[in-house]
């Protein structure tokens, strides 16, 4: 690649926006040339407008960029969107219509039948939905969404099992880290030495998104996978890492050892192996009975790998297992960066 | 009751033993007249031999009792056993043989087909197994066991549902407090800001004990309930309170509102209402979507009530719900005290 | 007391206001007859307007009171103020001027030279400042303030030492609980597994308030005690209880054993012993080297006692020790309730 | 350096020993050729004998070394000692006598008048004590100790102030992480949501070690620095990082800005800058009022830098400040590795 591809970040001063800045500052393929922000910060250098919450200081080359208003007249084609839900809902289609490619971390269009809900290792072929999206909505650009962080933490093994044995049902209970709620997020008065067995909207996301991610692209449409998911999300006093306990019924029942073998030998789709942000390996299977653990395993593969464990036969269903991923590294902004890398490889970035 | 019933405590100086001392010191029916301990403490006043870990100081009248060796020549008939597993396994049958009534918090005989695994609100009629036990083993006394604390936290709603609709399967995930592991128990290095998805032997107990507790006494034998349980126990950085997330398949499927109504109207068996340690109410149903929570609800009913919540229809099974109980108050020593109260009411204490 | 004394609560729907409601609902001397609130809640029954955060439900008799606007035309003379700082600053003098007696938990008038900063066990005679306050400001009513919760946690032993040996200097480091920051208060992202060595304005309060509390009333003025305090406040992931580590230089240097003896024999001023909310004992000295601890000791005396420990000679100053008090029970609303009880005993409530 | 210097690790299978293995596995100057262990592990490959607690797996080249008994007949001259206190006390002099150079993390000889207590950035010249040690004890080898982790966290700024202004007294309160207690270390029952204001022996170490570290080598003896330290150590529920709050009286009183300037401009002794493990910078001064914080700052400089903050004038003494260092990275094994690097540079390993 002779020259880096210029990209912009929508809502670059917020928590997720800062993570995009951090991830893209030294990216081998992309270069941040545009950052947008609210009225309060627009017109000022990014380094002054941002209340930087990550380690160290904002990268110097980004710190000097002047923050622009979030309007579809930006001098860059590829946009990473860290917009909050209401603005994302309103503005992302406007950007797509105006010809921009929007890689969004926001939730409003995740379940839109024409928007790819994309995780490169899970469903790289779903980008085939993009032409249908453009035709359906009359957009020159398009939107691609990454999955919710809790969905992300469990969907890779579900996809592998679905492909191998046909997934019929999954009962999922998640133990989710506080960083998933952003900042200020969960009050310490609520979570110190406690569990909150409720995360607004999360159960629904966990029950729907995996069916789309494991779905099949047929004639410009995603056919949702025909399995059922039951989810109960819990917030626990853990810093990073969402842990899912999953019990599945499969159409063909394997033994636990066959499943462990499947997980251990699994390789991501060929195209993923050339993406610069992909971890090696993508999937780690641990045989210790007390793993994965959030504090020990969420950082595996620089926070981008899935750690699985405890594959056992289930007295009620067929197989049960644990799946863990880092919610802010694998689950949020990084997901969109990996998606952009995949889109580039597939020729969708033009 | 004119005069209190004298009772003894086996292994009274350990963690569970201290809890027995605390619970029985001012009991309206029982009076501690004997405490036993290891060689190290035997012969000394309890107040000197014990390393008291509970609030305040050991009750004065117990502090002055001389600790006796744990041998079946004690001058009292009713014994609460806080013996560790190996000693319990060896010594409890010796005591039963010698004519003592042993109310044990230990695990070895919980699944013995002739030992009642007893929770007064769940299966008060299982004491009918006692004559069969005495006949089978040729004992003059007998053993009655309370359930594991994690089983206790979820079994009451399972029993209620089983009775009303017939339980077919249950997928259970527990989030368990550190106090369940005793002292010193879980190293802080392992659990601070973390989840440990493994508690040795706990999954098996959770999968077997509910079937016995919900079983039926037929011809001097317990027929295990014919449902299946899948359990995944997790340790979380919570001080007190085990929280269970349960998804059940029922033989007749009710609506969530029917189940909520059932829980809200449920009353413990008539005989329970006269037991002095019984909480009022025994079962609390909370309609807030984020309850029960260990820190807010484990102390309900002086730590002896169950708090349920979040009854919802399950996309995979029929009904799912949350159940919480205080693991050291409801789950351990108090269970045996309640069992003793029940046995007295039923005439089994002679 | 034939009939209870009617009292009102300003800003009764907030966190501190709720605590006032809880503390006064069953008070032997006082009866809540008036509650005020913001425009949002005024005109509605308290039980509907309040978002109750404490255990259980709001007391029934208070739940039915109609919330009134916080204006000085209330039909009750004695007011407990839970107003936030800015409103307290503006409104409390208006109430005092209009003849109301204001017992405030707010900070604006704590260091006012004519407002008693009052802790019954520390400086009950400072109520003698009330006539001077009324004369100086031309008020018919008056304001009495309780101390900041961190000051409260350390000032009792400072006063005892000051009285006995003359306090010259104190170097104080506090480890303060999250509940001191109210709700939502400290984000869990900031404090889980962490220490925040900064609480806005707290060091200054800790350096000034003890000098007033230990001061002397002379000719209608408080002469500040002539010692110096250096304070460093830290927030730690503890639920309740502020712990202070204090090293003092005294004008006459005692031995540690003399100080322990002094603490153990200390009795609160005679008048305190008749107050219904006073704990017995007020001061607990523990000899274990690892006490007091917030989780074990903050609840002592129903959360109203001070627990001291670790009196040792100091290689740099004379004596060092630890002091702990429950920040929301002893430190906030309860302080004003105890002050009201003292004022009644002293005849200041009319 | 053409060829790496062979080194051995005593008690290489324990917690500290594993850290030595990790730190030295890819060291640019040193190469692990010998590891020793207890009878249980001796004779087996290190990879089999060790219960590896650090991230990942033991380094391959070390995993294949056969564990040897800890006896002074090892085929290597330079030894890093991770021996527990009693064995260290007995065995380290035997190794020194037998000609070995012992770099110890253990405490028994830290305050020995002839053993350098060494932190390269603080007192690199104290290695001048080595010849006196050899002469005094008739040893061919010698012992060099690193400081206690809590001392380490505060001693660098004390040394800088002592050199610039003459330190007279220091009142120190530390908030120490659980990892400082090793594994299993602090029970979670004791520390979750709590503070333990006691760490056995720590206050004494904090009061004595800084005086030796800041002392002067005169005629083959260390003259202890003539300041006094008062220390109160607290355990807090933090994973890594000891935070010290320090109030100092100086012989010449600077302004806070002068001290900040001194800290910001400070450079480690010339010889330190060439050591491969030295962080750049060694000392970070943060101007935010709420820093340093353990979770945010303990990892600075790969866990080897000190982070200072909150230099303020002290109402009681002259200056107060906060100092933080990573207790297991900077405080333990790494200290000995840095000491070895310094000794090599100074020609003492040769």
State the DSSP code for C272: G
Both tokens of A244, joined, read 């899912």
In contact, C303 and C295? CB cutoff 8 Å? no
In contact, D266 and D283? CB cutoff 8 Å? yes
D193 contacts on B by Cβ (under 8 Å): 239
C191 contacts on A by Cβ (under 8 Å): 188, 192
Q: Annotated catalytic residue: which of A126, A162, A242, A326?
A: A242
Whose tokens are 């919570």? That residue is: B238
C183-215 pLDDT, tens digit per residue, is: 889 999 999 999 999 999 999 999 999 999 999
Q: Is C339 helix (H, G, I), strand (E, B) or coil?
A: helix
A236-282 pLDDT, tens digit per residue, is: 999 999 999 999 999 999 999 999 999 999 999 999 999 999 999 99
Return d(Cα D91, Cα D106) in angstroms, integer: 11
Buried b or exposed e, range D312-350, using 16+ CB within 10 angstroms: bebbbbbbbbbbbbbbbbbbbbbbbbbbbbbbbbbebbe
Same fold, D5-146+333-345 and D149-325: no
Q: Annotated catalytic residue: which of B126, B162, B242, B326?
A: B242
**Is C237 close to D169, i.e. CB distance below 8 A?**
no
For residues D222-230, average pLDDT: 97
Residue B200 burial (CB count, 10 A): 10
Res. A182: pLDDT tops 90: no
CA distances from D85 to A211, B293, D103 (A): 58, 44, 14
B193 contacts on C by Cβ (under 8 Å): 192-193
Mutate to test the interface with D, among A51, A52, A54, A55 (most CBs of D within 10 A): A55
Q: Which of D55, D193, D296 sits opposite A193 (nearest CB)?
A: D193
Q: Which fold has domain B149-325?
A: Dihydrodipicolinate Reductase; domain 2 (3.30.360)
State residue A153's pLDDT score: 98
In contact, B195 and B249? CB cutoff 8 Å? no
Whose tokens are 């400290």? That residue is: C186
CATH homologous superfamily of A5-146+333-345 = NAD(P)-binding Rossmann-like Domain (3.40.50.720)
Mutate to test the interface with D, among A53, A179, A193 (most CBs of D within 10 A): A193
State residue B337's pLDDT score: 96
State residue C1's pLDDT score: 59
A191 contacts on C by Cβ (under 8 Å): 188, 192
Say how many CB pairs under 8 Å bridge C and D: 124
State the DSSP code for D145: E
State residue B52's pLDDT score: 86
Left (φ > 0), alpha (ψ -120 to 50) or beta: where does C140 sit?
Answer: alpha
In contact, B320 and B259? CB cutoff 8 Å? no
In contact, C24 and C7? CB cutoff 8 Å? yes
In contact, D144 and D108? CB cutoff 8 Å? no
Return d(Cα B6, Cα B2) in angstroms, integer: 13
**Is C236 close to D237, i.e. CB distance below 8 A?**
yes
Return d(Cα B96, Cα A179) in angstroms, integer: 54
Please list the active-site residues of C: 149, 242
Q: Which of B230, B236, B316 sits opposite A195 (nearest CB)?
A: B236
DSSP for C207-247, written as a single string = HHHHHHHT-EEETTEEEPPS-EEEEEEEE-S-SS-EEEEEE
In contact, B47 and B64? CB cutoff 8 Å? yes
State residue D165's pLDDT score: 98
Res. D1 pLDDT band, cuts 50 70 90: low
Domain spans, chain D? 5-146+333-345, 149-325
Q: Which of B55, B193, B296 sits opposite C192 (nearest CB)?
A: B193
Q: Which of D183, D193, D239 sits opposite B187 (nearest CB)?
A: D183
Q: Which of A55, A193, A296 sits opposite D192 (nearest CB)?
A: A193
B245 contacts on A by Cβ (under 8 Å): 173, 197, 232, 234
State residue C331's pLDDT score: 85
Q: Quick one: closest CA in D to B238, which residue?
A: D192
A179 contacts on C by Cβ (under 8 Å): 189
Please, where are the H alpha helices in chain D?
15-25, 46-49, 60-63, 85-97, 130-137, 149-165, 188-191, 202-213, 256-265, 294-297, 333-345
Helices B256-265 and B149-165: crossing angle, nearest 10°?
A: 110
Residue B193 burial (CB count, 10 A): 24
In contact, D102 and D115? CB cutoff 8 Å? no
Percent of chain C surpassing pLDDT 70: 99
Max alpha carbon distance in chain B (Å)?
61
Q: Which residues pair with B286 in a beta bridge?
A: B309
Mean pLDDT by 10 residues, chain B (350 residues): 90 92 95 94 94 85 96 96 96 98 96 96 97 97 96 98 98 96 92 97 97 96 97 97 98 98 97 94 96 95 96 98 95 92 94
Q: Is B219 helix (H, G, I), strand (E, B) or coil?
A: coil
Return d(Cα A222, Cα A215) in angstroms, integer: 6
**Is B192 close to D189, i.e. CB distance below 8 A?**
no
Q: Quick one: closest CA in D to A298, which residue?
A: D55
**Is C186 close to A189, i.e. CB distance below 8 A?**
yes
Q: Which of B55, B193, B296 sits opposite C193 (nearest CB)?
A: B193
Q: Quick one: closest CA in A to C240, which residue?
A: A189
Res. D2: pLDDT tops 80: no
Say how many CB pairs under 8 Å bridge A and D: 5
Q: Quick one: closest CA in D to C249, which residue?
A: D316
- Torsions phi, psi for C212 (to 5 deg): -75, -45
**Residue A65: which of A38, A47, A39 has the closest Cα?**
A47
Mutate to test the interface with B, among A168, A169, A195 (most CBs of B within 10 A): A195
The pTM of the full predicted model, rounded to 2 decimals, is 0.95
Q: Going edge to edge, which strands form the sheet with B319-325?
A: B228-235, B167-176, B242-250, B319-325, B306-313, B283-286
In contact, B236 and A236? CB cutoff 8 Å? yes
Look over chain D and give the mean of its residue pLDDT values, rounded to a whole number: 95
**Is B296 close to C55, i.e. CB distance below 8 A?**
yes
C272 alpha-carbon distance from chain centroid: 15
For chain A, list residues whose CB is within 8 angstroms of any CB belonging to chain D. Answer: 55, 192-193, 296
The C-alpha of B198 sits at a distance from chain A's nearest C-alpha, in angstroms, of: 5
State residue A1's pLDDT score: 59
Return d(Cα D32, Cα D39) in angstroms, integer: 20
CA distances from A195 to A152, B176, B328, C94 (A): 21, 10, 18, 45
State residue B86's pLDDT score: 95
State residue B109's pLDDT score: 97
- Could you confirm whether B242 is annotated as catalytic? yes
D202 contacts on C by Cβ (under 8 Å): none
- Torsions phi, psi for D42 (to 5 deg): -55, 140
Please list the active-site residues of D: 149, 242
Buried b or exposed e, range C290-325, using 16+ CB within 10 angstroms: bbbbbbbbbbbbebbbbbbbbbbebbbbbbbbbbbb
D115-138 pLDDT, tens digit per residue, is: 999 999 999 999 999 999 999 999
State the DSSP code for C181: G
Q: Are strands B319-325 and B242-250 parallel, antiparallel or unpaired?
A: antiparallel
Tell me, what's the ipTM? 0.94
Return d(Cα D258, Cα D255) in angstroms, integer: 5
Does residue C340 have a cis peptide bond before it, meaning omega lies within 30 degrees of 0? no
Spell out the residues 6+ positions from residue D236 whose beta carbon is closer than 8 angstroms to its own: C175, C195, C236, C237, D175, D176, D177, D191, D195
């Amino acid at each position: 690649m002779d020259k880096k591809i210029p990209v912009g970040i929508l809502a670059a001063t917020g928590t997720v926006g800062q993570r995009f800045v951090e991830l893209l500052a030294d990216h081998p393929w992309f270069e941040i040339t545009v950052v947008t922000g609210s009225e309060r910060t627009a017109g000022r250098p990014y380094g002054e407008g941002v209340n930087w919450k990550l380690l160290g200081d904002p990268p110097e080359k980004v710190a000097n960029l002047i923050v622009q208003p979030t309007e579809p007249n930006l001098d860059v084609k590829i946009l990473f969107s860290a917009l909050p839900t209401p603005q994302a809902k309103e503005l992302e289609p406007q950007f797509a219509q105006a010809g921009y490619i929007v890689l969004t971390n926001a939730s409003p269009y995740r379940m839109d039948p024409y928007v790819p809900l994309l995780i490169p290792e899970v469903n790289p072929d779903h980008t085939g939905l993009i032409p249908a999206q453009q035709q359906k909505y009359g957009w020159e650009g398009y939107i691609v969404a990454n999955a919710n962080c809790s969905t992300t933490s469990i969907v890779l093994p579900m996809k592998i099992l679905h492909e191998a044995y046909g997934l019929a049902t999954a009962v999922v209970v998640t133990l989710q880290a506080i960083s998933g709620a952003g900042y200020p997020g969960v009050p310490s008065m609520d979570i110190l030495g406690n569990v909150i067995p409720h995360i607004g909207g999360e159960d629904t996301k966990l029950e729907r998104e995996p069916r789309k991610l494991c779905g099949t692209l047929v004639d410009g449409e995603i056919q949702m996978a025909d399995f059922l998911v039951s989810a109960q999300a819990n917030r626990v006093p853990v810093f990073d890492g969402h842990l899912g306990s999953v019990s599945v019924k499969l159409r063909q029942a394997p033994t636990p050892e066959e499943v462990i073998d499947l997980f251990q030998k699994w390789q991501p789709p060929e195209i993923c192996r050339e993406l610069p942000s992909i971890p090696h390996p993508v999937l780690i299977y641990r045989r210790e009975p007390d793993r994965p653990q959030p504090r020990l395993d969420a950082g595996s593969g620089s926070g981008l790998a899935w750690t699985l464990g405890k594959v056992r036969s289930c007295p009620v269903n067929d197989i049960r297992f644990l799946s863990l991923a880092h919610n802010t590294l694998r689950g949020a902004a990084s997901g969109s960066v990996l998606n952009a890398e995949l889109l580039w490889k597939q020729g969708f970035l033009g």
